[in-house]
Amino acid sequence: MSLSPLAAVGMKALAANYAALQTTGHNIANASVAGYSRQQVEFATSQGQFTGAGFFGRGVEVASVTRAHDEFLTREAAAAKAMAAMDSARLGKLRQLETLFKPGEGGLGDAASQLFNAFVDMSSQPSDLSSRQVVLARAADLASRFSEAAHTLDGIQAGVSSELGTSVEQVNSLAQSIASANRRIADLRGLGQPANDLLDERDRLISQLSEQIQVTRIDADDGSVNIFIGGGQRLVLGGSAAELKVVPDANDASLSAVAIMDGPSARVLDAGVLGGGAIAGLLRFQNDDLAQGRQLLGQLAQGIASAVNEQQARGLTLSSAAGPALFALDPANGIGMSFLLSDPSDLAAAAPLVATTSATNTGTMSVGSLQVTASPLPFPGVGETLTFAAAVPPATGLVVQSSLGGAAVPWVPGQALQGVNGFTLHIGGVPAAGDVLVVAPTAAGALTSNNGNALSLAALRDAATVNGQTFTDAWAQAMADVGVRAQSAQSTAEMSTAVAEQTESSRSAQTGVNLDEEAARLIQYQQSYQAAAKVLQVAQAVFDTLLQTAAR
């Protein structure tokens, strides 16, 4: 037997352990690299050499360098990141929306309360121009708050569209990179060994892509992966990648949608099937939360503006004219509110009608509040007399007959009287048969002292002006709605982030680098390398001994 097999065994052992040392050093160097999978040299025993005395070992060979990879955990980690990114993107925008629905000073509710308080002050001194000026200032402030809210909503929408554009650019870039990695991996597959670092790079790209849009991954036989989004839309197929684009929403051009390009045409993706990712979170916020915020603010603006304008039109200004509108709404969005008055004398504090009782009445009836309910009046400039009479037997009690026509109406104690000339009148005491009430136009000389419409304007504080609710109650409900959405989104984001961190931790525990283990392996392979070197040293010594013996 020659001595060369012993040296060959030593050389193979040296090479194998050197490869293990190199791989271990590679692991240590990449321990902090996100997505890096631990690599390991796989050894295989060389086939023995047959002799008449049996098989003699020929050492060790490096079979492959494999990476620690768990396909299930990798997919789970990517899916969890997609959900966490979606929830985080939605939460960030909800916090911006929540700033519009703030309580206390600076909020819309406070501005509306200040306006109602100014109406109360004006009703106390209807002829005082300074109190009227305060009403104008408070109304202008309310209009400004609504206008600012509308601009803020537009700004939030612009931010959503901008972030969608940024996310789409990242998706397109990552998709191209994944397609390029697919081509390189497929080209290297013929070498018979896995391209570990390239496979890690592709997994990192897919993980980053999942943070923007949730993906479905299908592995192909050539080593490439196909990526699908939005319920089956192809994003990456082998070495080619499709492109996403932000387009105007088909139903509302002010909103954004995401489409996948199919040749020259764009096919809009259904936001409801995107699953997760920042794009899904932004679209959900835009289509649900932001739309609800616009609707709530629009209802509030429409409710208070319409109520104030209608009541203002029912009163008289200091110049005996019908009150002009205080507010105008932006027809484009129904929220941007503008204030229309500048002259305090144009505020309609006086009611166009005044109710009085007859001096000949025998009952205890007294005049309460009068609210004009029609504008213009059905009979402008005409007085209306309401006469109480005994009901015709077998009916009992009293009936009320209007001088402007219509059937006699039974009088019910505590119930307001409805005038033919467009007013509602509350009375106190108990009328007697034959008693009369006269509701006549307000005289020009009484306009400075009449506060009937100012009282009605102040009463709007407690009127159901917004979807059957008072403005205060509707504002409180709007704040609660947005607040609950934000709190729920925060809880969801915290939970999904925790799940993402846990799944990534599980993946890292299985596939990542443990420096303590690598340090132990480093020592192990170092000792093996030194032992292999000793084999070569022994082989050299034996060979030298043979040469010396043969030379004698």
Whole-angstrom Cα distance, residue 72 to residue 76? 6
Whole-angstrom Cα distance, residue 168 to residue 235? 12
Residue 192 pLDDT more than 90?
no
Residue 504 pLDDT more than 50?
yes
Cα 191–chain centre separation: 49
**What does the pLDDT look like over 45-79, one tens digit per residue?**
888 777 778 788 788 888 899 899 888 999 999 99
User: Can you tell me which residue has the tokens 């890690």?
Assistant: 200
Residue 524: left (phi > 0), alpha (psi -120 to 50), or beta? alpha
Amino acid at 508: S
What does the pLDDT read at residue 1? Answer: 43
Whole-angstrom Cα distance, residue 298 to residue 347? 25
The residues, any chain, with a CB within 8 Å of residue 499's CB and separated by 6 or more, are: 80, 83, 84
**What does the pLDDT look like over 353-363, one tens digit per residue?**
999 999 999 99
Whole-angstrom Cα distance, residue 137 to residue 342? 9
Whole-angstrom Cα distance, residue 324 to residue 340? 9
What does the pLDDT read at residue 3? Answer: 52
With 0-12 / 13-18 / 19 or more C-beta atoms within 10 angstroms meaning exposed / middle / buried, residue 130 is: exposed
Considering the entire predicted model, what is its pTM?
A: 0.85
Q: What percent of the chain has pLDDT over 90?
A: 69
Residue 398 pLDDT more than 70?
yes
Helix H or strand E encompassing 337:
strand 337-339
**Mean pLDDT score across all residues of the chain:** 91
Per-domain boundaries in the chain = 4-68+512-551, 75-292+473-504, 353-441
Please give the backbone phi and psi of residue 21, each rounded to the nearest 5 degrees, phi first.
-65, -40
Whole-angstrom Cα distance, residue 32 to residue 137? 62
Cβ atoms within 10 Å of 436's Cβ, excluding its own: 19
Give the mean model confidence (pLDDT) for residues 156-181.
Answer: 96
**What does the pLDDT look like over 525-552, one tens digit per residue?**
889 889 888 888 888 888 778 778 877 6
Whole-angstrom Cα distance, residue 513 to residue 34? 11
Helix H or strand E encompassing 427:
strand 423-428
The residues, any chain, with a CB within 8 Å of residue 353's CB and separated by 6 or more, are: 370, 372, 377, 421, 423, 439, 440, 441, 442, 452
Cβ atoms within 10 Å of 488's Cβ, excluding its own: 12
**Segment 21-27 long-range contacts (CB within 8 Å, at least 24 positions apart):** 21/522, 21/525, 21/526, 21/529, 23/65, 24/518, 24/521, 24/522, 24/525, 25/522, 27/513, 27/518
What does the pLDDT read at residue 59? Answer: 86
**What does the pLDDT look like over 196-216, one tens digit per residue?**
899 999 999 999 999 999 999
What does the pLDDT read at residue 445? Answer: 85
What does the pLDDT read at residue 209? Answer: 96
Residue 466 pLDDT more than 80?
yes
Strands (E), 192-285: 216-219, 225-229, 233-237, 240-241, 244-248, 256-262, 265-268
Helix H or strand E encompassing 459:
helix 452-459
Q: Which two tokens stand for residue 221?
A: 């036989």
**What does the pLDDT look like over 262-309, one tens digit per residue?**
888 889 999 989 989 999 999 999 999 999 999 999 999 999 999 999
Whole-angstrom Cα distance, residue 386 to residue 75? 82
Nearest CA to 122 among 450, 551, 431? Answer: 450
Give the mean model confidence (pLDDT) for residues 75-85.
Answer: 94
**What does the pLDDT look like over 6-34, one tens digit per residue?**
888 888 889 988 999 999 999 999 998 88
Whole-angstrom Cα distance, residue 95 to residue 2? 81
Whole-angstrom Cα distance, residue 140 to residue 343? 12
Whole-angstrom Cα distance, residue 304 to residue 119? 14
**What does the pLDDT look like over 217-254, one tens digit per residue?**
999 988 899 999 988 899 999 999 999 999 999 888 88
Give the mean model confidence (pLDDT) for residues 126-155.
Answer: 94
Cα 524–chain centre separation: 54
User: Can you tell me which residue has the tokens 């190199």?
Assistant: 22
Helix H or strand E encompassing 44:
strand 39-45
Whole-angstrom Cα distance, residue 86 to residue 122? 52
Quickly list DSSP for 161-199.
HHHHHHHHHHHHHHHHHHHHHHHHHHHHGGGSS--HHHH
Q: How far is CA 167 from CA 162, 272, 297, 413, 483, in A?
A: 9, 18, 29, 68, 27
